[in-house]
Amino acid sequence: MKAKKYFEKANKERFALGAFNASNLETIQAIVNAAKNLSSPILIECSPGEINYLGLQRAVHLTRSFEEETQIPIILNLDHGEQPEKIKAAVDAGFDYVHYDGGKTPFEEAIKIGRELSKYAHKKGVLIEGEIDHIEGSSSDHTDESPNVSKDLYTDPKKAKKFVEETEIDTFASFVGNLHGIYSENKHLDLNLLEEIRNIIPHTYLSLHGGSGIIEQDIKKAISYGIVKINVNSEMRIAFKMTLQEVLNNTKEIALYKFMQKPIQETQKVVEQKITLFGSGGKI
């Protein structure tokens, strides 16, 4: 129960684990290098789209090989799983943690599916995260957009309580202004709402999606309110793409491993910044 160990440690010591998306070898290298440099436990996560690209078993084998080599605790997570059979497949493949995204599913049906998946995951010693609100945005480039969204779409604490109690999930992913993606301005969180959610489900771990581009003080406050997992994707993708583009525009080199080092290094810097902000350095 590696995931439970570190989630409990984060909850007790008031830090957050960084959950970093990856779909290729270079990004995994960047994440692991950062974690090793700062002695931090981490989550490496793959969305269904990233799994389709990388492969379910390859994600497991790559992660385990890096974990064995570096002795860094790596929690492998299926991020935003919507289809129950794919979530079960990740559990069976050896993932440590899975995320059921029921944000597009009618509430009562999401409870039913969440309960079934929770039982399935727990039988294999896997932690499960649940989501009932469609967390807006995406990991695309939103830098010409303002991070505004109706608060009517934010998490209803009473619904969160009902969902958690009836499914027995381990972690709840709330929507409190944490849009996915990078926008023209940094994102603010509704910290009062987050505190209300914390108080109504005090024994459930809390996850924060959309961790790119949130005001740092809001991140620190959210951790003090019980957030133990923060997802990061967009800032890493932007760093990787922009650096790779610059390198390719200024080299005649055709050996991939020779021009991939700088994109890896720049992505690693993003991960190290987040680990430092989240307070997970030195927590192994």
Closest CA to 212 of 2, 10, 19, 8: 19
pLDDT at 178: 85
pLDDT of 138 higher than 90: no
Q: Of the residues 79, 101, 170, 218, which is catalytic?
A: 79
Phi and psi angles of residue 23, each rounded to the nearest 5 degrees, phi first: -140, 5
CB 151 within 8 A of CB 190: yes
Going by their DSSP bridges, the two strands 227-232 and 17-21 should be labelled as parallel
Range with the lowest mean pLDDT among 26-40, 129-143, 252-266? 129-143
**Segment 255-282 mean pLDDT:** 97
Q: Rounded distance, CA 32 to CA 38, Å?
A: 10
**Residue indicated by tokens 């430092």:** 276
Which stretches of 82-170 are DSSP H helices? Answer: 84-93, 107-123, 157-167
pLDDT at 141: 66
Residues whose CB is less than 8 angstroms from the CB of residue 39 and which lie 6 or more positions away in sequence, other chains included:
72, 281, 282, 283, 284
The H or E element that residue 202 is part of is none
Looking at the whole model, is its pTM more than 0.75?
yes
Q: Rounded distance, CA 136 to CA 284, Å?
A: 33
Residue 141 among the catalytic residues: no
Q: Rounded distance, CA 170 to CA 164, Å?
A: 8
**Residue indicated by tokens 């960084």:** 18
CB 226 within 8 A of CB 206: yes
pLDDT at 146: 62
- Kindly report the average pLDDT of the chain as a whole number: 94
Q: Domain extents for the chain?
A: 2-278
Residues whose CB is less than 8 angstroms from the CB of residue 265 and which lie 6 or more positions away in sequence, other chains included:
30
SS3 54: helix
Q: Rounded distance, CA 25 to CA 27, Å?
A: 6
Q: Rounded distance, CA 62 to CA 57, Å?
A: 9
Beta bridge partners of 195: none
pLDDT of 163 higher than 80: yes
Confidence of residue 144 (pLDDT cuts 50, 70, 90): low
Q: Rounded distance, CA 51 to CA 74, Å?
A: 17
Name the percent of the chain lying above pLDDT 90: 87
pLDDT at 147: 61
Q: Identify the CATH class of 2-278.
A: alpha beta
pLDDT at 186: 74
pLDDT at 150: 72
Convert the pLDDT of each residue in 165-192 to its tens digit: 999 999 999 999 887 777 757 778 999 9
**Segment 90-118 mean pLDDT:** 97
Torsion over CA of 189, 194, 196 and 198, rounded to 10 degrees?
A: -170
**Segment 248-269 mean pLDDT:** 95
